[in-house]
Structure 1
Amino acid sequence: MYKIVVSCFIAFLLGLNAPYAQVNKLKTGFVHPPNSAKPGVYWYFMDGNMSAKSITEDLEAMKKAGIGNLVFLEVNVGIPRGPVDFLSEEWQNMFAHAVSESKRLGIEITLGIGPGWTGSGGPWVPIGQSMQHLVSSTINVSGGSKQPIVLPVPPPKPPYFGEGAFSPELKKTWTDFYEDVAVLAYPTPAIALPKIKDIDEKALYYRAPYSSAPSVKQFLPSVTEYAAGPAGAIDKSKIIDLTGKLKPDGTLNWVAPEGNWTIMRLGRRNNGAITRPAPVPGLGFEADKMDTVALNAHLDNYVGKLLRKTGMPKPTDAGGLKKLHMDSWEMGSQNWTGHFREEFIKRRGYDPLPFYPVYAGNIVQSQEISERFLWDLRQTAQELVLENHAGQVKTYAHRNGMELSIEPYDMNPTADLELGALADVPMAEFWSKGLGFNSSFSVVEATSIGHVNGKSLIPAESFTSQDNEGWKQYPGAMKNQGDWAFAAGINRFTYHTFQNQFLPDSLRPGATMGPYGVHWDRNQTWWPMVGGYHDYISRCSYILQQGRTVADVLYLTPEGSPHVFRPPSSAMDGDVVLPDRKGYNFDGCSPGQLYTASVKNGMVVFPGGASYRLLVLPAVKTMTPVLLQKIKSLVNDGAVVVGMPPVKSPGLTGYPACDIQVSDMAKVIWGTLQEPSAQTSRSYGKGRLIWGGDIDKQINDLYPEYELTAKLLLSMDIEQDFTSNGQLRYTHRTTGDTDIYFVSNRTDQVVKTTASFRTVTGPPQMWDAITGKITSLPEYSVKGQLTSVSLKFAPYQSYFVVFAKGNITASAAHKNFGENAIVKTLSGAWLVSFDPKWGGPKNIKFDELTDWTLRPEEGIKYYSGTAVYHKEFDLPAQTQKAKKLYIDLGTVNNMARIKLNGKDLGVVWTAPWRIEINKAALKKHNKLEIQVINLWPNRLIGDETKPDDGIQNDAWPQWLVKGLPRTSGRFTFSSYKFYSKDSPLLKSGLLGPVTIQSEF
């Protein structure tokens, strides 16, 4: 009995201490983030330009700077070919060296599943196992007598990206490949056949990139009402299958009956997709995305070959090969595979053969029947891609000790959320604002997938850019967009791109990926200081990987493909590139994901822990019976569902009974199919349905206006999760007894406000990811569900506001944020040291702080790199008792490291541009050293006044090839030219004013 009592008492004490232990664990990870929280890079190699030395130097630079993971890809963009042929024995040895070095350094490698930056293919893919289209040719004949009938070979569809990327050998193979599939004949309609609009898109011949091509449809509308059947439709009952009568030479052994007949010859051809932009030895056809045999053969020829060289990944390895990766879908669509007809019959329950004419845009039976067949065609294609491609890659990865990450967009012929839901690690991509395309929608997609599926890691290919980037970006300039991504749900940045720097270290900024990418590599001017920024990113990422995101609204996407999930535009605030969430957060959910949901305490919940108060249906009046049955089950169990009832099924499976089944079930759930003129609430089982009136009046979106769902939540006594003066963005995560809010100032102005948080878990603390410091926020109040906190932000500043039972409450006499006073301005002359190797003077006196580009010395005007400012100063007597002393740098272009009296105080890279100096300051004779780094453009622009000795006619210069002295007088060398001698220079240097400040 004594032992039982003691055990219970210990358990009771442990339970009391659990919140404290949890908070302490969070604090430890926040101050010293683990490797899993560190950012990553896309590590690009350029068509054989590589060496073991450059691989090691790149990886060691990553490790030193705080990078913990990378995506390995080899491409061919804008650089002359190198000596190491892709996948040769030498290349494989270098890859093995990279894996070995990454293990030594604890850096995780994610391997793209094919050459190039997208897709899965190569020269080893036989064209019979490549992506395919069903193509056709048509002739008309008059029957009633025996006559020779010769059917022309159907031509291929033009490749989406054109034929220019084909090698002569690939072009010939593509042109020659053809295999017959079927021959169909039908009486020629007396009236010319009408054509189905947008048939190339609906039949999956083409899917343009949603992010970059104009007018690409977000989804293909599912229609329930069609005009009366058009004259000239093909009578399905009169279609004759003549496949067995076709001879190899294209003649048809058939005598057409009396009347006019149309004969279609249908066959399979390659869709024109090849690896892109692949190294020349990796150029080949994309493997069939619907066939496991083709996929596994490809994987064995690429990934398998590398695994045989490197050995199987081990879970105990801190680094090395850990994941496979499917990047953005850019290989186009396919609508055929060798077993497509059999799979269609198995999955849809009917034979597609009589509907083959619909592939060519012809109407069989009626417009509605043909459109419903096309829906089934796309659904079958989607299922085959998901199961036989993405699903099989995942199986292959797991079998070999790895995980799979997927970017489920951009020319994706399936529904983005359905493809991404298969990933172990769903991934997004966002482009640098103003330097490329707007793919912010992919962030919403990937974070939705991750939240619904309970994934702790949701990375993004980050700050992709093109053309005008030219080394202009740096951590401070990227702060606002990075914080937007964090608030949107991203919790790991994978910077695009770290170009392998295979050129000699003296040639900087060195190799680029042509015009693409923010240059996140060891040749950046500011690379020696980037670790301070990476610490911030790692701390944010660590906290945002804990627990789960809090969201109130779940938007269900329609069935069918393709589909790009977009919430109602009114649910987002801010500009179109950086859209922020409003006070009620949301996620999107695919039908495939919804099947795993259940209801608990009136909320829709998922196995991974995500829960939502409202399930909002899309404004689509078609739904399959199986999905409607799931909706019925959720409402019956207590879910609150917003949306109108469906009236039909979208496809032909079980037709026409499927339509009756849907309408009958919908009547049971909604009570009627007649849309009410006013908003209506109906109880069903333990749950409710809300529909009618403005709720169903979508203008440009699939979903109701945000304000309408917000009113519904308020009517349920659910307050907004976060409110402020409108200048802040947020995201909210919860883990155990801790609520974590990331809050960011999205303006370039100081912001003071009182913000409201929907939590009463405990007293608030500020966790500053810049410094790693945690401080109490004693100025707060609690009312009902809400805690209000007084907050202050510098321009673009961010921090975490953490509420936990384990938090210590500070004295209410203290303020959340102190006020600063300038106690000394460091005016007058500065001694400045530039690096003579880059053209600057070793020592020079600046009478006052000034922009380098305004100086008369060319070596300073065009200087790029590090300069060191020196100054000695005394502290005023009144500062000796100051609680905190800071040095504030004022304006800095672009990063700075501060040393005082020989002590390294750290790097400043964003506002507030200051650092605490209490532990280093002396009363007299303080020796201040400020290292300031600017960007590459100024030196590149200055060098454009000198002879061009760079790449000419796609060839390296002879002085570089032969190791000769360089005579142009240029300081820089780059594989891509962004600037001319007339390009504007960028402000550079320490502009100040530099002040000593005390906090009171």
Structure 2
Amino acid sequence: MLSKSKYLIFLIPIFLILAFQSQEKKNPPSSEWPEITQTAKPWTRWWWMGNAVDEKNLSNLLETYHDAGLGGVEIAPIYGAKGYEDRYIDFLSEDWLSMLDFTVNKAQSLGMGVDMTQGTGWPYGGPQVSIEHAATRMIIQDYEKVDGEALSTPIIFQKKRENQFDAELVSVMAYDKDLNAKDITAFVKEDGMLDWNETGDWQIKAIFLDKTGQLVKRAAPGGVGFTLDHFSKSAVGAYNSYFENAFAGKDYGIRSFYNDSFEVYGADFTASFFDEFEKLRGYDLKEFLPYLESEENTEQVRKVKSDYRETINDLLLTNFTKNWTNWAHKQSKLTKNQAHGSPGNLLDLYAAVDIPECETFGSSYFPIPGLRRDSADIRNVDPDPIMLKFASSAAHLTGKNLVSTETFTWLGEHFKSSFSQMKPEVEQAFLAGVNHIFYHGVTYSPEDVPYPGWLFYASLNLTQQNSLWPHFNSFNDFITRSQSILQAGKADNELLVYWPVYDVWAKPKGKMEMITVHAVDEWLHPTQFYKQSKMLMESGYSLDFISDDMISKSKVKEGQIQTSAQNSAKVLIIPETGFMPIETLRDILKLAEEGAKVIFQSKPKSIPGHHSDQKSKESTFNQLWASIAFKGGKAKVGKGQIYLSDDLSKTLEQLEIYREKLVDSGLDFIRRKVADGTFYFLVNHSAEAISQTISLNTKAGTVMAMDPLTGKRGTVSSESNADGTIVNLFLKSGESIFLKTFDEKATLDIPAWPDYSKASSTTDISKNWELTFTHGQPKLPAPQRMETIKPWTDNNSPEADDFSGQANYTSEFELKKTEGKQYLLTIYKVYESAKIWINGKEAGNIWSIPYQLDITEELQNGKNTIKIEVANLMANSIRYLDRNGIEWRNYHEINFVNIDYKPFDASNWKTMPSGLGGKVQISEFD
């Protein structure tokens, strides 16, 4: 891999050439799909179980992944399968590094990329992490000293378990009845007895530096050890140096290092914490420990806890995230990080890395008719796509193009998730700004391991053994086409919404505030930030979230708020805010002075944190606010304007910032701006078909439709007006489409987009089918003849009921084909993916609702043949294995669990419908 400096040597002349070319001649409008790059294709997490990998299987599997349409892999070493211990390779050993080298070289030969987790399992840690550098927590032991009596109890750390480490006494503090503090550490003798007897009753708190004892979760061979102290610069530095030394100066050609979501349980302290706190916050936290421990909803408790949490954030951001990224850059590598779950400002943590990564976890509800969502097969979580926008906002505002996501984690129970369920989930991620999909995931499984191969304990298992794998390429093509557009140009969002993180940090409950995906009902949903953001998005506005630090780094150019050279927005919105730093209010006023438009929902109530000169600072804040001379809720500040309004939509209209009215039809959307126009990604996740005229805020000379499912393109009739562009749109429930609006009139060498809204005639071909099983488990059932097409699980055949794999439905039919007409094949039910051949020609795939495919080009007038290869789920064959006591799961660590984290057992499952059901029809359209 070339170093970044070498890349720059090549890129600078290219940029100069392109700049001169653009001055001489503007590139003509493009009707093509954007270039299919390595990152446009979906990538996958690749679990190396026990690191039991070898060159032959690595080579074969990478070729298999490449042929299926994957663009890259993310190596994640974990625990191994029992019985294969002789194949295990210790992490970072010479043999392991040799396998890494082989993997990268093989992947590069296929045009694929490789990322790797900087450790095994998660979170970061391993045998190289000394007890000194291990995850740390603060333990406070309480004592009561009565006036005139010596403390009879020695101040010695009280272990809660026999093998617990001896904690280090950091300090001993005494507090009187008014909570005035004294440091009495010097009066503690070697035996723990306190030689101090000052007059009065005292509450005594002994502060210990303890180790959490947490070991790396799901560790691979050679990776077992303590979890890292992420708040310690020296610990993180030592951790990075270990890898640098292990690599011995060799560049293994990986693209980036990856860090999973923050799951460092109980870690809330580090050795230098009190010193760091005093430098950052200006006072000694030890004097205020009673407030840190209290959960009373008082001003002082909220302020002290806010300062504590902000300091934790600062240490995580500086000592881990930025420190790690800077180190990776020196190795000519990128960083990819999941900030969620951490006790920090998600926006700043995401922004500090090269590729922010969010996560889809569980199953979302979509009212798409026919979309299967069995409550017994999903986790008791309610994913919120707004959570994904923290990562995309950080990328957009800091000029980073890629926003990745760990996708489909526990989408459903093992072996029961289909492409049709995956499609709306991934579309929801796209709508939130994600454009670099990582599947969760694929397990390395050697060819000599019998069906179903090695599997990770958590779904979704997309392996070469999966019965859907032969059809995986079509799903990947959908992702690839979509991402080729979503990675083009830049985000086109007009609003910035301030996230008041200090309101989250000021909550009186608990000590740490872990900002997790699973606790959104506590830290996100009740807030005006969430409610106003959701309202604006549902009204048709495009927005990003912005942090205090991002505001401080923004500038104004021609009335637009520039957060980076690549990103700008029209207005900054400050939702109802409890706590805002003085510096942030100053920065907002500065932006207004430079010409920015700002809307406050209300006056921020106070400043965060404890200050020795509290009244003076609050006075300064109030004076700054008072300097905004509102008249009728509006103030001119320098070149800009500041509004005070609880009706954000009305104020935005006054500012002539208009919503996309297309959402009134039930559509969801996201926009990308490119050199010659604007891309709209439109999705119908509503329960009804949408057939109506919609308006686009973008003024267009020409409009083109692009179908990510098939790759087909066509011009769309459009009409310009004062507000933008009007187009007629027909999308069935479950469909999505890209529209490209060209800034100028363009002549495109593509046909008009077909109108599928009303069929002129329909031919039913549901009769007389033959079914032949071609490949699968546990064995191939006998062929079936069907008077009317139906699932193969509806034919009283136990062998067919147990079968997972592929089978062909074949038939013949007569059809009068008319030139100039369009013909759409519709299948009422597909369980779960269908590949279609008409007259021996492959026409395409059907795997998502609505189950339809344009077969105009393949049809002929008169007699036609049709073959439909159907791939079903693995569920039925796994049920067969469990019912017959055939052992297939036997792993170290967690082994294999169901969606409720209980031992997995499919023996009592009902037969999952498999094959085709309902009617098969061909509709003719004018």
Instruction: Tell me the TM-score normalized by structure 1.
Output: 0.80
How far 1:262 sits from its partner (Å)?
Answer: 4.1
Structure 2 residue corresponding to 1:645, chosen from 603, 615, 634: 603
1:504 aligns with 2:454: no
Cα 1:917–1:356 shift into 2, 3 Å: closer
**1:835 touches 1:842 (CA, 8 Å); kept in 2?**
no
Structure 2 residue corresponding to 1:284, chosen from 225, 238, 249: 225
Q: Larger C-alpha radius of gyration, 1 or 2?
A: 1
Structure 1 residue corresponding to 2:403, chosen from 453, 458, 466: 458
How far 1:865 sits from its partner (Å)?
Answer: 0.9
CA distance in 1, matches of 2:105, 2:21: 47
Structure 2 residue corresponding to 1:235, chosen from 166, 180, 196: 180
1:893 aligns with 2:837: no
Structure 1 residue corresponding to 2:123, chosen from 110, 114, 119: 119
Cα 1:979–1:262 shift into 2, 3 Å: closer
Per the alignment, residue 622 of structure 2 pairs with 663
1:350 aligns with 2:278: no
**2:294 touches 2:301 (CA, 8 Å); kept in 1?**
no
What amino acid is aligned across from residue 327 of structure 1 in structure 2? D
Q: What does the per-residue CA deviation read over 1:915-950, in whole Å, with 9 as the maximum and x for residues that have no partner?
A: 444554444554432211111112223444424444
**1:421 touches 1:593 (CA, 8 Å); kept in 2?**
no
1:270 aligns with 2:211: yes
Q: Secondary structure at the match of 1:312?
A: coil
Cα 1:554–1:362 shift into 2, 3 Å: closer
Structure 2 residue corresponding to 1:18, chosen from 15, 20, 26: 26
Which runs of structure 2 are paired with 1:832-981 in the superposition (5 Å)? Answer: 832-835=771-774, 838=777, 839-841=779-781, 843-876=783-816, 879-923=817-861, 926-951=864-889, 978-981=904-907
Cα 1:148–1:433 shift into 2, 3 Å: closer
Q: What does the per-residue CA deviation read over 1:646-675, in whole Å, with 9 as the maximum and x for residues that have no partner?
A: 46432234623322222222221356xxxx
Per the alignment, residue 479 of structure 2 pairs with 537
**1:19 touches 1:804 (CA, 8 Å); kept in 2?**
no
Q: What does the per-residue CA deviation read over 1:194-215, in whole Å, with 9 as the maximum and x for residues that have no partner?
A: xxxxxxxxxxxxxxxxxxxxxx
Cα 1:572–1:356 shift into 2, 3 Å: closer
1:784 aligns with 2:722: yes
CA distance in 1, matches of 2:19, 2:223: 61
Per the alignment, residue 137 of structure 2 pairs with 133
CA distance in 1, matches of 2:676, 2:257: 35
Which runs of structure 2 are paired with 1:984-995 in the superposition (5 Å)? Answer: 984-991=910-917, 993-995=919-921
Q: What does the per-residue CA deviation read over 1:739-797, in whole Å, with 9 as the maximum and x for residues that have no partner?
A: 1110011135432121111011322111111222221111x222212211100113311
Cα 1:343–1:51 shift into 2, 3 Å: same
How far 1:627 sits from its partner (Å)?
Answer: 1.6
**2:539 touches 2:663 (CA, 8 Å); kept in 1?**
no
Cα 1:591–1:955 shift into 2, 3 Å: closer
Q: What does the per-residue CA deviation read over 1:8-28, in whole Å, with 9 as the maximum and x for residues that have no partner?
A: xx99996695252xx42xx44
Per the alignment, residue 519 of structure 1 pairs with 461
How far 1:531 sits from its partner (Å)?
Answer: 0.9
Cα 1:977–1:51 shift into 2, 3 Å: farther
Structure 1 residue corresponding to 2:172, chosen from 176, 183, 188: 183
Cα 1:184–1:432 shift into 2, 3 Å: closer
**2:68 touches 2:472 (CA, 8 Å); kept in 1?**
yes
Cα RMSD, aligned residues only: 3.5
Q: What does the per-residue CA deviation read over 1:17-60, in whole Å, with 9 as the maximum and x for residues that have no partner?
A: 5252xx42xx4443x52222011111123335544443333322
Unmatched segments (≥5 aa) in structure 2? 1-17, 365-377, 506-512, 516-522, 896-900
Per the alignment, residue 110 of structure 1 pairs with 115
Q: Secondary structure at the match of 1:274?
A: coil
Per the alignment, residue 388 of structure 2 pairs with 443
Q: Secondary structure at the match of 1:829?
A: strand
CA distance in 1, matches of 2:812, 2:883: 38
What amino acid is aligned across from residue 484 of structure 1 in structure 2? Q
Per the alignment, residue 325 of structure 1 pairs with 258
How far 1:334 sits from its partner (Å)?
Answer: 3.6
Cα 1:855–1:720 shift into 2, 3 Å: same
What amino acid is aligned across from residue 736 of structure 1 in structure 2? A
Cα 1:847–1:594 shift into 2, 3 Å: same
CA distance in 2, matches of 1:956, 1:459: 27
Which runs of structure 2 are paired with 1:505-654 in the superposition (5 Å)? Answer: 507-514=450-457, 516-560=458-502, 561=505, 562=513, 568-570=529-531, 581-643=538-600, 644-646=602-604, 648-653=606-611
CA distance in 2, matches of 1:292, 1:849: 66
What amino acid is aligned across from residue 469 of structure 2 in structure 1? W
Unmatched segments (≥5 aa) in structure 1? 1-9, 164-170, 190-232, 314-319, 696-707, 958-974
Cα 1:836–1:67 shift into 2, 3 Å: closer
Per the alignment, residue 426 of structure 1 pairs with 356
Instruction: Tell me the TM-score normalized by structure 2.
Output: 0.86
**2:81 touches 2:454 (CA, 8 Å); kept in 1?**
no
Q: What does the per-residue CA deviation read over 1:85-118, in whole Å, with 9 as the maximum and x for residues that have no partner?
A: 54144444333333332222222222222221x3
Per the alignment, residue 683 of structure 1 pairs with 636
Structure 2 residue corresponding to 1:713, chosen from 645, 652, 655: 652
How many residue pairs get aligned? The number is: 864
Structure 2 residue corresponding to 1:472, chosen from 407, 416, 441: 416
CA distance in 1, matches of 2:807, 2:20: 60
Q: Secondary structure at the match of 2:312?
A: helix
How far 1:806 sits from its partner (Å)?
Answer: 5.3
Per the alignment, residue 78 of structure 2 pairs with 75
Structure 2 residue corresponding to 1:408, chosen from 326, 336, 339: 339
**2:42 touches 2:476 (CA, 8 Å); kept in 1?**
yes
CA distance in 2, matches of 1:812, 1:784: 28
Cα 1:552–1:256 shift into 2, 3 Å: same
CA distance in 2, matches of 1:297, 1:861: 56
**1:835 touches 1:841 (CA, 8 Å); kept in 2?**
no
**1:177 touches 1:269 (CA, 8 Å); kept in 2?**
yes
Cα 1:370–1:881 shift into 2, 3 Å: closer
Q: What does the per-residue CA deviation read over 1:382-409, in whole Å, with 9 as the maximum and x for residues that have no partner?
A: 1111111111110111011111111111
**1:512 touches 1:519 (CA, 8 Å); kept in 2?**
yes
CA distance in 2, matches of 1:935, 1:813: 37
**1:78 touches 1:513 (CA, 8 Å); kept in 2?**
no
What amino acid is aligned across from residue 358 of structure 2 in structure 1? A
What amino acid is aligned across from residue 919 of structure 2 in structure 1? P
**2:79 touches 2:893 (CA, 8 Å); kept in 1?**
no
How far 1:581 sits from its partner (Å)?
Answer: 4.1
**2:500 touches 2:529 (CA, 8 Å); kept in 1?**
no
Q: Secondary structure at the match of 2:488?
A: coil
**1:829 touches 1:846 (CA, 8 Å); kept in 2?**
yes
**1:646 touches 1:663 (CA, 8 Å); kept in 2?**
no
Structure 2 residue corresponding to 1:745, chosen from 675, 684, 689: 684
How far 1:597 sits from its partner (Å)?
Answer: 1.0
Structure 1 residue corresponding to 2:155, chosen from 152, 157, 165: 152
Which runs of structure 2 are paired with 1:668-817 in the superposition (5 Å)? Answer: 668-669=627-628, 680-691=633-644, 695=646, 708-747=647-686, 749-778=688-717, 780-805=718-743, 808=746, 817=755
CA distance in 1, matches of 2:634, 2:48: 59
1:296 aligns with 2:237: yes
Q: Secondary structure at the match of 1:250?
A: coil
